[in-house]
Chains A and B, each alone.
Chain A
């Protein structure tokens, strides 16, 4: 038996001992323990060093409000900093370590900081490290980071998997204490769909921590019976180890810890599940958090919340001290006396700030010495509490104690109700913020509503559970009346004891003292929001659960205002820390977004393709052959093969939209800048689409395969955007047009067949019956032909500038088509080429693509101004006609060729006149696309240059400060290859 474990009682499994370690020291606890309770049972007081002053700290609470007992849990990549010992479920092999100490917890060199405390007050960093600025990065920040802060990140990738899930219900109950259980049971019995979440691993809340009875059953027994009944109801779902962390519009975010309590994560199991809960109604029954009192030395290990002391005794059978005094200003605090008496370790003294205490409360003390009208002035001790100085009607005296239970009242846990901007109101009667304005579908029950007795909690739960069930269309049989005590719960607020000698902490986690609050007030930071940011009070990961109200009460007293006049800060989600991994779920690394693969992807892989992301797709970038050592070699070979013979390229990724209906021509005339209503059947036309602001949105072709069969192609990157835009134009702008359209990108696999021998390849593919002659299929013609068991669409269009075709087959035949093209072209030396060769050839031809269609260019800039029809209205026409968009000085498309062969040009480099300094005022444009042109034997580029078309032949400076490039190039026509277009026609 460990030193501070009681011989009997508690809800731990004494038959299941659990070995764990803290700071490398092997210890034993039991199933049902938390790390904190196991440490208490082992008599361990000192668990960490504080954030700023490195003061020794112990466990303060028994729940998620814990500001002190933050530990690093786990090792290696699974090391997790700043986890609360009070919420870590003990499991075999648990390896926890204290934080923020060096070289050891007991001897921490930087604890010297506390003696420098007078200069480390609020605003210290703002005032001290202002000057010189140059020292910030080199000196101040690294030094501060070493001294302050808490745990260490592992620095390694998170090895665990996470998942997300959605669930829907009539009633979401947050908190499975008496109010939550009563609500879930009442609504569940009525047939409503209920989700009950609790952060704990066991249902019951305070029923597990107090000696209370419901329906004549001990609290834990009643909770167990309710749990059994809830589990028998198919309409009720219970999520334990689940923290509701945020209230969003109509939804609640919650994180379920699936494997954190297991020694080893089972293979394939997610560590945590991020829930989006979509409830019709929400019942917040999260209880209340006990409020500490601010007095000298109130952070000494051994000073603990009174309810937490009881929790360790009653639930965990662990004794937090053998000589424990109680400092209270509430009736509830006195219950601690009864718990300790039952545990055989009666309290040493009870100090109540009130002069009068009800007789029933007084009776809880038994024989313990009682000091009414008294206060604790100072807690004395270093790494453990040794004594307290009390002052009051009895005078001043010192009591030797090793523990101090503190009860300053209760703060209802209302954070979730404030996430959407609603504010709680202060109740003098309950000395607490209670629900005020609430979101429409949220109700609050029990202690969270400031109704602190057990009977009130149960009644609240039953009433609100029944109400929610009725609202969801269910009829509760009868609202149950649970029998429980109406224990005394009066509070006379006391936030702060002045006059102590030791430091009095308001915010334990961020090391903010009463004098910091006073300093802030003196310096004029009298708004609570300013106080918070100036002192960092309440800004730690505990979100000020134990500190905020005390801080603003002290500020109120200092500024002569009431608490309501002083106001509160707003809580924001997440209410508890959430691992980034849980928010990412499945979507990390390469799976951040889904990846689209073309029907012939497997074939390209067999060919050894190197793939590149292109929008959502993976496309073959080039196909290295044996012996090729770099990409440029492969790409150059592919370009030469196409220009000399024939190549094939998978273009299935281009967006394809089928259009039909009597008004397609009219519609296309309005969405394209050029005219389409005149397009005859069997023809393809290049089209330019503008945004309404006049800038170019996308380009592509539209083919008319039949009288009512149109197919538009878009760029790969803009496919989704164009579809959305067309739907906008149709549904929002011109719903009167009789047009039907749908994406057929997935239906068709499409290959470009390019090069002077491309027609020969088609003849071999389609066989002698098919007519693919220039008469039957001239440039910009299209047709449909039988191919194997299917029909193919054939378009004579070219991106490379060579005679070229695009052939489309239903996607299921895409793989077969690739193989058929290779087979049909074997004798022609057919070469598969990727997006790089495609890009080289389009740059050689001066065709614009994504780098030029960058959202900042108008048609004129791209040399496409003549495409803008003057005969019709279309999206973007009026805005494109603005004078400023038609000035010759705008950067306009040109070609660039370095004056020295072999010099490389780079995209993004700036274009400057020769002989001027490279400054912004001389900037005349920039390089958009570059390539090594095997046809010209030189690097070439497309660029947007002011007055570009008028400057062909001029030499300019291509300045690339980022990559230290400085090159002289000649402005030339953007069409480097075959400007007459002779090759297009073969």
Chain B
């Protein structure tokens, strides 16, 4: 699988580390219940899903990659740092 890194271009997936669902955002203030959801609760959609990948053997950027979990088609990849705040 090749992942289109917005900085490096398409790269072999072996250069990346997978983190998981990009949807949960860290709660800003100390709310234990919200934090527990953030740490443990994940959806498992069949279809396009935003995921966090780290380009460990490339530009060292964290990416938000939109991947279809049914066929691995990647429709988008962008730098996580440029996401709007939660």
Interface residues of A (CB under 8 A from B): 166, 248-251, 276, 278, 420-421, 692-693, 720, 724, 727-728, 730-733, 735-736, 873, 877-879, 881-882
Contact residues in B for A733 (Cβ distance below 8 Å): 26
Contact residues in A for B8 (Cβ distance below 8 Å): none
The distance in angstroms between the C-alpha atoms of A836 and B71, with both chains bound, is 49
Contact of A693 among B32, B39, B60, B81 (CB under 8 A): B39
Question: Once the chains bind, are B30 and A420 in contact (CB under 8 Å)?
Answer: no
The distance in angstroms between the C-alpha atoms of A40 and B29, with both chains bound, is 80
The distance in angstroms between the C-alpha atoms of A727 and B26, with both chains bound, is 15
Other A-B pairs, 11, CB within 8 Å; known A731-B62, A735-B81: A249-B1, A249-B2, A278-B2, A692-B26, A724-B17, A724-B56, A732-B80, A735-B80, A877-B30, A878-B32, A879-B36
Task: Mark out the residues of chain B between 38 and 86 whose CB falls within 8 Å of any chain A CB in the assembled complex.
Answer: 38-40, 52, 54, 56, 60-62, 71-72, 79-83, 85
Question: Once the chains bind, are A250 and B2 in contact (CB under 8 Å)?
Answer: yes
The distance from the CB of B5 to the nearest CB of chain A, in whole angstroms, is 13
The 7 closest A-B pairs by CB, nearest first: A249-B1, A735-B81, A731-B81, A731-B62, A878-B35, A249-B72, A732-B80
Question: Once the chains bind, are A873 and B30 in contact (CB under 8 Å)?
Answer: yes
Question: Once the chains bind, are A727 and B30 in contact (CB under 8 Å)?
Answer: no
Contact residues in B for A878 (Cβ distance below 8 Å): 30-32, 35
Question: Once the chains bind, are B62 and A727 in contact (CB under 8 Å)?
Answer: yes
Question: Once the chains bind, are A251 and B2 in contact (CB under 8 Å)?
Answer: yes
The distance in angstroms between the C-alpha atoms of A692 and B17, with both chains bound, is 18
Interface majority SS (helix, strand, loop, mixed), chain B: mixed
Question: Once the chains bind, are B39 and A879 in contact (CB under 8 Å)?
Answer: yes
A249 — nearest CB in chain B belongs to which residue?
B1
A736 — nearest CB in chain B belongs to which residue?
B85
The distance in angstroms between the C-alpha atoms of A444 and B48, with both chains bound, is 28
Question: Once the chains bind, are B39 and A732 in contact (CB under 8 Å)?
Answer: no
The distance in angstroms between the C-alpha atoms of A109 and B62, with both chains bound, is 65
Question: Once the chains bind, are A732 and B52 in contact (CB under 8 Å)?
Answer: yes
Contact residues in B for A882 (Cβ distance below 8 Å): 32
Contact residues in A for B2 (Cβ distance below 8 Å): 249-251, 278
Max count, chain B CB within 10 A of own CB: residue among A166, A250, A276, A733 = A250
- 5 A/B residue pairs, CB under 8 Å, sorted by A: A250-B1, A250-B2, A692-B35, A728-B54, A731-B61
The distance in angstroms between the C-alpha atoms of A877 and B29, with both chains bound, is 11
Contact of B32 among A248, A735, A873, A881 (CB under 8 A): A881
Contact residues in B for A166 (Cβ distance below 8 Å): 12
Contact residues in B for A730 (Cβ distance below 8 Å): 81
Interface residues of B (CB under 8 A from A): 1-2, 12, 17, 19, 26, 29-32, 35-36, 38-40, 52, 54, 56, 60-62, 71-72, 79-83, 85
Contact residues in A for B30 (Cβ distance below 8 Å): 873, 877-878
The distance in angstroms between the C-alpha atoms of A731 and B64, with both chains bound, is 11
Contact residues in B for A692 (Cβ distance below 8 Å): 26, 35, 38-39
The distance in angstroms between the C-alpha atoms of A632 and B51, with both chains bound, is 50
The distance in angstroms between the C-alpha atoms of A251 and B12, with both chains bound, is 10
Contact residues in A for B71 (Cβ distance below 8 Å): 420-421
The distance in angstroms between the C-alpha atoms of A693 and B2, with both chains bound, is 31
Contact residues in A for B80 (Cβ distance below 8 Å): 731-732, 735
A743 — nearest CB in chain B belongs to which residue?
B60
The distance in angstroms between the C-alpha atoms of A881 and B19, with both chains bound, is 24
The distance from the CB of A659 to the nearest CB of chain B, in whole angstroms, is 14
Contact residues in A for B82 (Cβ distance below 8 Å): 735
Contact of A248 among B1, B36, B39 (CB under 8 A): B1
The answer to whether A732 and B62 touch (CB under 8 A), given A421-B71, A692-B39, A879-B39, is yes
Contact residues in A for B62 (Cβ distance below 8 Å): 727-728, 731-732
The distance in angstroms between the C-alpha atoms of A796 and B68, with both chains bound, is 52
The distance in angstroms between the C-alpha atoms of A732 and B38, with both chains bound, is 14
The distance in angstroms between the C-alpha atoms of A18 and B45, with both chains bound, is 61
Contact residues in B for A731 (Cβ distance below 8 Å): 61-62, 79-81
Contact residues in A for B56 (Cβ distance below 8 Å): 720, 724
Question: Once the chains bind, are B54 and A724 in contact (CB under 8 Å)?
Answer: yes
The distance from the CB of A439 to the nearest CB of chain B, in whole angstroms, is 9
The distance in angstroms between the C-alpha atoms of A636 and B24, with both chains bound, is 52
Contact residues in B for A693 (Cβ distance below 8 Å): 39-40
The distance in angstroms between the C-alpha atoms of A813 and B62, with both chains bound, is 34
B56 — nearest CB in chain A belongs to which residue?
A724
Contact residues in B for A250 (Cβ distance below 8 Å): 1-2
The distance from the CB of B35 to the nearest CB of chain A, in whole angstroms, is 4
The distance from the CB of A247 to the nearest CB of chain B, in whole angstroms, is 12
B31 — nearest CB in chain A belongs to which residue?
A878
Contact residues in B for A735 (Cβ distance below 8 Å): 80-83
Contact residues in A for B60 (Cβ distance below 8 Å): 727
Contact residues in B for A249 (Cβ distance below 8 Å): 1-2, 72
Max count, chain A CB within 10 A of own CB: residue among B29, B62, B79 = B62
Contact residues in A for B26 (Cβ distance below 8 Å): 692, 733
Contact residues in B for A877 (Cβ distance below 8 Å): 30
The distance in angstroms between the C-alpha atoms of A735 and B62, with both chains bound, is 11
The distance from the CB of A740 to the nearest CB of chain B, in whole angstroms, is 12
The distance from the CB of B78 to the nearest CB of chain A, in whole angstroms, is 12
Contact residues in B for A736 (Cβ distance below 8 Å): 85
Contact residues in A for B35 (Cβ distance below 8 Å): 692, 878-879
The answer to whether A727 and B32 touch (CB under 8 A), given A693-B39, A733-B26, A736-B85, is no
Max count, chain A CB within 10 A of own CB: residue among B17, B38, B80 = B80
Max count, chain B CB within 10 A of own CB: residue among A276, A692, A736, A878 = A878
B14 — nearest CB in chain A belongs to which residue?
A276
The distance in angstroms between the C-alpha atoms of A873 and B31, with both chains bound, is 11
Contact residues in A for B81 (Cβ distance below 8 Å): 730-732, 735
A724 — nearest CB in chain B belongs to which residue?
B54
The distance in angstroms between the C-alpha atoms of A879 and B83, with both chains bound, is 26
A693 — nearest CB in chain B belongs to which residue?
B39
The distance from the CB of B59 to the nearest CB of chain A, in whole angstroms, is 11
The distance in angstroms between the C-alpha atoms of A421 and B72, with both chains bound, is 12
Max count, chain B CB within 10 A of own CB: residue among A421, A735, A736 = A735
Contact residues in A for B72 (Cβ distance below 8 Å): 249
The distance in angstroms between the C-alpha atoms of A878 and B40, with both chains bound, is 13
The distance in angstroms between the C-alpha atoms of A421 and B69, with both chains bound, is 13
Max count, chain B CB within 10 A of own CB: residue among A166, A420, A692 = A692
The distance from the CB of B13 to the nearest CB of chain A, in whole angstroms, is 8
B1 — nearest CB in chain A belongs to which residue?
A249
Contact residues in B for A421 (Cβ distance below 8 Å): 71
A875 — nearest CB in chain B belongs to which residue?
B26
The distance in angstroms between the C-alpha atoms of A248 and B83, with both chains bound, is 31
The distance from the CB of A571 to the nearest CB of chain B, in whole angstroms, is 17
The distance in angstroms between the C-alpha atoms of A780 and B35, with both chains bound, is 35
The distance in angstroms between the C-alpha atoms of A881 and B36, with both chains bound, is 12
A725 — nearest CB in chain B belongs to which residue?
B54
The distance from the CB of B56 to the nearest CB of chain A, in whole angstroms, is 6
Question: Once the chains bind, are A728 and B39 in contact (CB under 8 Å)?
Answer: no
Contact residues in A for B29 (Cβ distance below 8 Å): 873
B79 — nearest CB in chain A belongs to which residue?
A731
The distance in angstroms between the C-alpha atoms of A939 and B85, with both chains bound, is 54
